[in-house]
């Protein structure tokens, strides 16, 4: 059933229900169920071969499920006559006719989807390709092709947007720009679903995460909840009396791992409690800091069993369970970033 918003309006929800896809003996997607809602950027994460692209293709009706259903606003996408005006998608930035200009490519897309041609200049401008729009796409860098793919997705001004690995090939400035764009699209009430195989990319891009491995659901939660549940929280301490502090903290049930002559990593007690205990026992502290290991480590640990191609040894992942009482995790800060407008000049061969 379509989800309803205020005044009975239909909310652009993507609903995936027990979805499966087999290619011969390969199970690409395995009994997958989750919902992607509007107003947030949802990251779709999984290692190579996890089934992300296959899922996106099934949302778009480009691949038929072996089992289960996928609907947008309660209707399979193939049943939507509005095409690009309903869902905009970037699946493969390289999959474009290199002999055409960006302007010609977008104009053809606009015509076949009954989108006013005026949108072509608007989206070229939006993605920073207005001046380079007359050049052959074959001469574009991967980053410029990603921008062109994003322009194609935006062309129909759709309420639902899918992006498959959109950050590939973008320089840091481009990554910041894309993050700002996705945030704005979500704030406009659109449904934004973005795949990636790297948590480090999604950490500052998505509000929600759907994590899959070997086609199966591993996590479906907000980034904050994922972070609180999976990231390895610990406290770094530095003191000239490490032996004394270790004895005190161990007596309180903490685990203390020395990381230098006067330094240690403590798990099992929050920083505030460590500071109080040190004061009470007369141990001077030169450093006391709450730290959280990278979410990338947590993601790798979660999906370690699902990694299709391993280079040599299994990656060593240090992600022990943490012992803080509920609500006492260190706060993970997500930096607020500025989004510079970038414009490629007509002759720029980046």
Cα–Cα distance, 56 to 195 (Å, whole number): 9
CB-wise, 14 or 130, nearer to ligand ATP? 14
Angle, helices 102-112 vs 118-126, to 10°: value is 130
**Candidate segments 46-54, 84-92, 97-105, 314-322, binder of ligand ATP by CB under 6 A:** 46-54
CB-wise, 210 or 271, nearer to ligand ATP? 210
| 26 makes contact with ligand ATP (CB under 6 A) | yes
Instruction: Fill in the DSSP letter of residue 75.
Output: B
Q: Sheet of 26-36: strands edge to edge?
A: 26-36, 14-23, 67-72
CA angle 295, 43, 341 (to 5 degrees): 100
| 52 makes contact with ligand ATP (CB under 6 A) | yes
CA distances to 40, 160, 208, 226 from 114, in Å: 28, 18, 33, 41
Among 179, 197, 230, 234, binds ligand ATP (CB under 6 A): 197
**Candidate segments 8-16, 49-57, 126-134, 273-281, binder of ligand ATP by CB under 6 A:** 49-57
CB-wise, 26 or 94, nearer to ligand ATP? 26
Among 4, 9, 18, 23, binds ligand ATP (CB under 6 A): 23
| 53 makes contact with ligand ATP (CB under 6 A) | yes
**Candidate segments 20-28, 86-94, 101-109, 239-247, binder of ligand ATP by CB under 6 A:** 20-28
Contact 152, 108 (CB under 8 A): no
Beta bridge partners of 17: 69
Instruction: Fill in the DSSP letter of residue 8.
Output: G
| 213 makes contact with ligand ATP (CB under 6 A) | no
Chain residues in the site for ligand ATP (CB under 6 A) = 23, 26, 28, 46, 48-54, 197
């Amino acid at each position: 059933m379509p989800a309803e918003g205020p005044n009975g309006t239909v909310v652009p929800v993507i609903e995936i229900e027990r979805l499966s896809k087999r290619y011969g003996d390969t199970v690409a997607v395995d009994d997958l169920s989750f919902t992607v809602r509007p107003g947030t950027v949802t990251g779709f994460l999984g290692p190579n071969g996890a089934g992300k692209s296959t899922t996106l293709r099934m949302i778009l009706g480009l691949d038929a499920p072996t089992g289960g259903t996928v609907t947008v606003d309660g209707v399979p996408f193939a049943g939507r006559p509005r095409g690009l005006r309903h869902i905009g998608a970037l699946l493969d930035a390289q999959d474009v006719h290199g002999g055409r200009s960006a302007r010609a490519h977008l104009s053809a897309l606009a015509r076949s989807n009954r989108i006013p041609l005026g949108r072509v200049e608007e989206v070229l401008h939006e993605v920073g390709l207005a001046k380079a729009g007359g050049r052959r796409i074959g001469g574009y860098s991967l980053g410029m092709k990603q921008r062109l793919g994003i322009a194609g997705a935006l062309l129909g001004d759709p309420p639902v947007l899918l992006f498959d690995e959109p950050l590939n090939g973008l320089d840091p400035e481009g990554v910041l720009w894309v993050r700002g764009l996705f945030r704005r699209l979500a704030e406009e009430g659109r449904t934004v679903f973005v795949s990636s195989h790297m948590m480090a990319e999604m950490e500052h891009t998505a509000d929600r995460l759907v994590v899959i491995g070997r086609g199966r659901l591993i996590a479906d939660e907000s980034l904050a909840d994922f972070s609180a549940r999976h990231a390895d929280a610990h406290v770094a301490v530095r003191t000239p009396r490490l032996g004394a502090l270790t004895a005190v903290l161990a007596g309180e049930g903490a685990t203390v791992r020395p990381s230098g002559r006067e330094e240690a990593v403590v798990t099992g007690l929050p920083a505030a409690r460590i500071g109080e205990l040190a004061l009470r026992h007369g141990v001077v502290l030169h450093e006391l800091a709450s730290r959280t290991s990278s979410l990338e480590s947590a993601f790798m640990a979660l999906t370690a069993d699902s990694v299709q191609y391993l280079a040599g040894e299994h990656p060593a992942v240090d992600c022990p369970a943490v012992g803080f009482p509920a609500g006492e995790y260190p706060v993970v800060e997500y930096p607020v970033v500025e989004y510079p407008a970038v414009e490629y000049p007509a002759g720029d061969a980046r």
